[in-house]
C-alpha cells in the first residue's frame, strides 16, 4: 500500500511539472503599447465650444492611436480680459480637449492685446480709465527720452489696424503685470496635465509664449503718430512697413524705452541687435517662469517675429527653457528655404522646434497643401505646425482633405 501511495504521489508531481512546463512554453500575448504622437497638426481659431471640437473630430477623427493627430491651438490674451474670464476660458478649453480627445496648444498672450489694462498704458488722457503720467515708462519711445512716449500703434493683420501703444517690454511694472497673470494660468495647465493618465499626456502639445515677438513690426509707429490719435482713422497713412529696413522697419524707430530700461544703451544709435536682445530677454524671462511652474522644455515654445534674411530677431526665440518657433507664410511651402531659421534650428540644443504660425500661400488644392505640410512636419522635422486660422482653412480648396491625409501618416521613428 505504501508503494502504491508513493507511485501515485510521484505521478501527480509529474503531471504538475508537465503542466507548469507547458505553461512556460506558451508565450504571453504581447501587450499593445499606446501610440504616442510624434508630431501634430494644429489649427488655430477653434472656439471653446462643443460644436467646434466636434467639428475637428468629424473632419479628422480623435487623436488616440495616431502618429500625427490633429488638434487645436487657442489664444488667451490675459491683459485684454479679466483674470476670471481668462481662467474660465482656459478651463473650458482643457475640459474640451479631454472630452473630445483633441490635443491643444495653449498660447498665453501678453503682447498683442492689452486694451484691458489702461492702468499700464494710459499716460495722456486724464478723462479716461487708468490715467497715470508715470505710464510713460511702460510704453515705447521714439527717442531716449520719455517725452517722446507713444500714444498709439498700428499693425497689419490682413488690413491695417490701430492698436494701443507698443509696450516697453522691459518695464518692471509691465513685467510684473504679466507675471501676475502667468502665475495664475500656467499652474492651471500644469495641474490639468499632471492629472492626465500617462496614456493621455499627449493632449498637451505645449504652452506657447510670445506672438511674433518683436519691436516695431506687429505694433509700429508712424512719424508724428501721436497727432493722429484725435483724428479720424481715415487720415492714417497706409504705406505700412518695409520689414527689411532695420531698425525703423520703414516707419519710425522705437525700442528706446526697452533698450534703456534694460541697460543695453542709454544714448547713441539704436540697432536691430539691441531690439533683438530685448526680445530675447523678454521671452527668456517668461519661459523661465513657466519652467519653474512645471512646464518641461519639450512642451514650452516661443514665437518670434522675423522677416528679413539673417536678422537678429530670429535668434531671440532661443533660450534654455523652451523650444523655438517662428511664423511661416512666405516659406510655408518649404521651411528649408528660410535658411536663417533652419540654421538656428541646427545650432540649437532644444529637443524640438515649431512652425508655430503657418499658412500655405500657394495655389490651393489638396496636392499643394499636402506637399507643404509634409515638407514642414516631416522633411523639416518640426514638432508641430499650427495653421492660422480655422475659418480660413475652411475656405481653402483641398486644405481639409490634405490635413486629413497627412494625419494618417505612419511615422518610422529612427
Whole-angstrom distance, CA of residue 131 vs CA of residue 135:
8
C-alpha cell at 265: 544703451
**159-186 residue pLDDT tens:** 999 999 999 999 999 999 999 999 999 9
For residues 62-80, average pLDDT: 97
Higher pLDDT, 128 or 37: 128
C-alpha cell at 345: 534650428
> In DSSP terms, which residues pair with 358 in a beta bridge?
328, 387
Residue 340 dihedral angles phi and psi, to the nearest 5°: -65, -45
Residue 396 has pLDDT above 70, yes or no: yes
The pLDDT value recorded for residue 36 is 84
The pLDDT value recorded for residue 27 is 55
Share of the chain above pLDDT 70, in %: 91
Helix (H, G, I), strand (E, B) or coil at 101: coil
Helix (H, G, I), strand (E, B) or coil at 292: helix
**185-226 residue pLDDT tens:** 999 999 999 999 999 999 999 999 999 999 999 999 999 999
Q: Give how far Cα 164 sits from Cα of 60, 91, 117, 221, Å.
A: 38, 28, 10, 11
* Matching CATH number, 36-407, of 3.40.640.10, 3.90.226.10, 3.20.20.80, 3.40.50.10860: 3.20.20.80
Helix (H, G, I), strand (E, B) or coil at 414: coil
For residues 282-297, average pLDDT: 98
How deeply is 226 buried, as exposed, middle or buried, from its count of CB atoms within 10 A (0-12, 13-18, 19+)?
A: middle
The domain ranges of the chain are 36-407
Q: Mean pLDDT of all residues in the chain? A: 92
Residue 2 has pLDDT above 50, yes or no: no
For residues 110-137, average pLDDT: 98
Asked whether the beta carbons of 255 and 149 are under 8 A apart, the reply is: no
Residue 23 has pLDDT above 50, yes or no: no
13-17, 41-45, 282-286: the lowest-pLDDT one: 13-17
2-6, 40-44, 204-208: the lowest-pLDDT one: 2-6
Residue 276 has pLDDT above 80, yes or no: yes
Amino acid at each position: 500500500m505504501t508503494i502504491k501511495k508513493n507511485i501515485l504521489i510521484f505521478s501527480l508531481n509529474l503531471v504538475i511539472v508537465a503542466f507548469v512546463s507547458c505553461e512556460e512554453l506558451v508565450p504571453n500575448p504581447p501587450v499593445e503599447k499606446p501610440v504616442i504622437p510624434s508630431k501634430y497638426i494644429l489649427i488655430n481659431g477653434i472656439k471653446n465650444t462643443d460644436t467646434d471640437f466636434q467639428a475637428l473630430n468629424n473632419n479628422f477623427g480623435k487623436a488616440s492611436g495616431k502618429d500625427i493627430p490633429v488638434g487645436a491651438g487657442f489664444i488667451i490674451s490675459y491683459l485684454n480680459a479679466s483674470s476670471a474670464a481668462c481662467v474660465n476660458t482656459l478651463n473650458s478649453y482643457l475640459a474640451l480637449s479631454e472630452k473630445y480627445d483633441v490635443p491643444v496648444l495653449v498660447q498665453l498672450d501678453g503682447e498683442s492685446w492689452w486694451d484691458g489694462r489702461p492702468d499700464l498704458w494710459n499716460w495722456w488722457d486724464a478723462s479716461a480709465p487708468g490715467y497715470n503720467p508715470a505710464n510713460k515708462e511702460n510704453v515705447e519711445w521714439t527717442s531716449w527720452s520719455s517725452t517722446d512716449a507713444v500714444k498709439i500703434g498700428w499693425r497689419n493683420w490682413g488690413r491695417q489696424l490701430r492698436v494701443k501703444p507698443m509696450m516697453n517690454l522691459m518695464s518692471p511694472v509691465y513685467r510684473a503685470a504679466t507675471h501676475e497673470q502667468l502665475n495664475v494660468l500656467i499652474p492651471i495647465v500644469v495641474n490639468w496635465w499632471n492629472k492626465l493618465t500617462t496614456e493621455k499626456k499627449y493632449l498637451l502639445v505645449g504652452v506657447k509664449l510670445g506672438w511674433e515677438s518683436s519691436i516695431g513690426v506687429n505694433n509700429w509707429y508712424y512719424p508724428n503718430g501721436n497727432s493722429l490719435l484725435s483724428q479720424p482713422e481715415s487720415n492714417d497713412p497706409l504705406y505700412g512697413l518695409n520689414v527689411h529696413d532695420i531698425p525703423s522697419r520703414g516707419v519710425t524707430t522705437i525700442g528706446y524705452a526697452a533698450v534703456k530700461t534694460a541697460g543695453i544703451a542709454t544714448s547713441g544709435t539704436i540697432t536691430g541687435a539691441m531690439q533683438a536682445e530685448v526680445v530675447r530677454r523678454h521671452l527668456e524671462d517668461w519661459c523661465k517662469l513657466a519652467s519653474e511652474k512645471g512646464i518641461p522644455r519639450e512642451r514650452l515654445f516661443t514665437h518670434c517675429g522675423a522677416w528679413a534674411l539673417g536678422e537678429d530677431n530670429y535668434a531671440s526665440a532661443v533660450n534654455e527653457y523652451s523650444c523655438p518657433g517662428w511664423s511661416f507664410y512666405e516659406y510655408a511651402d518649404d521651411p528649408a528655404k528660410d535658411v536663417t531659421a533652419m540654421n538656428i534650428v541646427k545650432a540649437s540644443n532644444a529637443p524640438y522646434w515649431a512652425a508655430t504660425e503657418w499658412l500655405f500661400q500657394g495655389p490651393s488644392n489638396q496636392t499643394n497643401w499636402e506637399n507643404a505640410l509634409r515638407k514642414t512636419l516631416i522633411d523639416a522635422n518640426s514638432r508641430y505646425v499650427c495653421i492660422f486660422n480655422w475659418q480660413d482653412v475652411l475656405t481653402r480648396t483641398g486644405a481639409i482633405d490634405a490635413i486629413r491625409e497627412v494625419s494618417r501618416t505612419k511615422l518610422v521613428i529612427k
